[in-house]
Amino acid sequence: MNILDTIYQHRSIRKFSDKPVDDQILEKILNAGFRGSTTGNMQVYSIIVNRDKKKLEAILPFHFGQKMVVEAPVFLTFNADFNRFNTWCEQRNATPGYDNLLSFLTAAIDAIIAAQNVAVAAEALGLGICYLGTTLYNADKLIEFYEMPKGVVPITSIAIGYPLEIPELVDRLPANGIVHYEKYHQYSSTEIDAIYNEKENLETTLKLINENGTENLAQIFTQKRYTKETNVEFSKRILAVLEKQGFMNHQL
């Protein structure tokens, strides 16, 4: 399969076979992560590899019990990481000034670029992957569990393994819902209707609305999946994490 088809055929895999991922395969995948673009070639990210089932059982609650965490043969967590860089600077009589929001975001971008290279490489090798957004939600607990020092914040995780099933490709919005030419184009209500028309009329959507007892798909997001209450609670915890890990000192 060529590279574009690999990317076009991406679907999240949540059920994995027992087949382990060889060390050589893992190395190939991680090497893909290392080659990703990185600000100033600082490589201000790190990757935690989990394969020990006991460790994965321990972090399962932090990922809200999503079974793929323990069922995947390889579980990777990508961190914004200035710790190694700062340690190096201090050892070289250089005073690091990376305890601020810009540095955090720079490191988070590094981490996510590496993660997506890893994801594409894994899929190219016949593996399936699924991202977990829960990493950011429970960053405080993961920091404690992994014993991460200041300068490190876990950003995202990927479960990796051989797929036990290949689900249908999920829908995406039409290009004009995503792409703007030359300047940002604010949508009219007619345009919003057109962009969401196909998604709102999928059989899977209509079934979901019925199951959730909401008026429409948008309410499933706002009332069930990603509620304001939950978002506010986790936003406060994430800000506390940024402060604790030393990334909000530009305010001092």
Can residue 112 be called a binding residue for a second copy (CB under 8 A)? yes
Cα separation, 140 vs 138, whole angstroms: 5
Of 16-24, 64-72, 116-124, 159-167: span binding a second copy (CB under 8 A): 116-124
Closer to a second copy by Cβ: residue 166 or 173: 173
Q: Which of 3, 18, 19 is nearest to 123 (CA)?
A: 3
Closer to a second copy by Cβ: residue 72 or 130: 130
Q: Which helix (H) or strand (E) holds 132?
A: strand 128-132
Residues 6+ apart with CB under 8 A from 40: none
Cα separation, 177 vs 145, whole angstroms: 40
Of 16-24, 63-71, 82-90, 159-167: span binding a second copy (CB under 8 A): 82-90
Can residue 24 be called a binding residue for a second copy (CB under 8 A)? no
Closer to a second copy by Cβ: residue 71 or 120: 120
- Token pair 């991922």 is found at 21
Can residue 210 be called a binding residue for a second copy (CB under 8 A)? no
Can residue 245 be called a binding residue for a second copy (CB under 8 A)? no
Cα separation, 25 vs 116, whole angstroms: 16
Cα separation, 151 vs 243, whole angstroms: 10
Of 15-23, 64-72, 166-174: span binding a second copy (CB under 8 A): 166-174
Using only C-alpha atoms, what is the Rg of the chain?
20
Cα separation, 121 vs 31, whole angstroms: 9
Number of residues that bind a second copy (CB under 8 A): 119
Instruction: By CB under 8 A, name the one of 21, 108, 127, 160 that touches a second copy.
Output: 108
Instruction: By CB under 8 A, name the one of 18, 168, 203, 229 that touches a second copy.
Output: 229
Can residue 155 be called a binding residue for a second copy (CB under 8 A)? yes
Tokens of 87: 């340690």
Can residue 201 be called a binding residue for a second copy (CB under 8 A)? no
Q: How far is the CB of 17 from a second copy (least distance, A)?
A: 21
Can residue 40 be called a binding residue for a second copy (CB under 8 A)? yes
3-state SS, residue 152: strand
Can residue 107 be called a binding residue for a second copy (CB under 8 A)? no
